[in-house]
Chain A
Amino acid sequence: EVQLVESGGGVVQPGGSLRLSCAASGFTFSSYWMTWVRQAPGKGLEWVANIKQDGSEKYYVDSVKGRFTISRDNAKNSLYLQMNSLSVEDTAVYYCARAGSGTMIGKNDYWGQGTLVTVSS
């Protein structure tokens, strides 16, 4: 059974940093693109970042470029999101999701339960 479990969320002050983790199981993690998606309270889904199977390609939404870094450790079946210079606009539930297994990013077919990040003074 495919499982994705996020952790690392919490309350942080504006300008602070946080590192989210996503533990994957039930599939060959190293064969899939992975994605972070967020959802601000009462708002829609926002794609945040994608990372290729070997970590050689990474893509970000403009609003987080230069502040967030997506990474992965295939030996640990884990996905990460390092978030720096956080602002109140980054307050959201952050989901990790499995993406495609080929050269294209593809569909997000499995999702974690999400972890809440609250940026507040």
Chain B
Amino acid sequence: DIQMTQSPSSLSASVGDRVTITCRASQSISSYLNWYHQKPGKAPKLLIYAASSLQSGVPSRFSGSGSGTDFTLTISSLQPEDFATYYCQQSYTTGTFGQGTKVEI
């Protein structure tokens, strides 16, 4: 089974900061990597799919990169509504999620 490892597990940031979250797969998953964020009590929301494609309606401050085993989600200028938990997910086989990264003030 493919394992997904995110880092860091949590981070503190301020409005306007550039934030980077990394995700590593235990084997190559090509570009079959998605990013979501989730706010407390809400369903996850898709941000990035296929490693670097921005989901419709998602602000352009979100971007993704990487292929193979190493991937990155970048928020160019953190906004108040971006404080949430972020998850990567591989869709190469099944749909394993990373353990999550909590972005807090």
Residues on A lying within 8 angstroms of B by beta carbon are 35, 37, 44-47, 50, 59, 61-62, 95, 99-100, 104-109, 111-114
Contacts and interface: CB of A to CB of B under 8 A. Distances in A.
Interface of B: 1, 32, 34, 36, 38, 43-46, 49-50, 55, 85, 87, 89, 91, 93-100
Contacts of A45: 36, 38, 44, 87, 89, 97, 100
A106 B55 CA distance: 13
Chain B at the A interface: SS class = loop
B95 A37 contact: yes
Contacts of A106: 49, 91
Given A44-B85, A47-B89, A105-B95, 14 more contacts: A37-B97, A44-B87, A46-B97, A50-B94, A50-B95, A100-B91, A104-B32, A105-B91, A106-B49, A106-B91, A107-B34, A107-B55, A112-B43, A114-B43
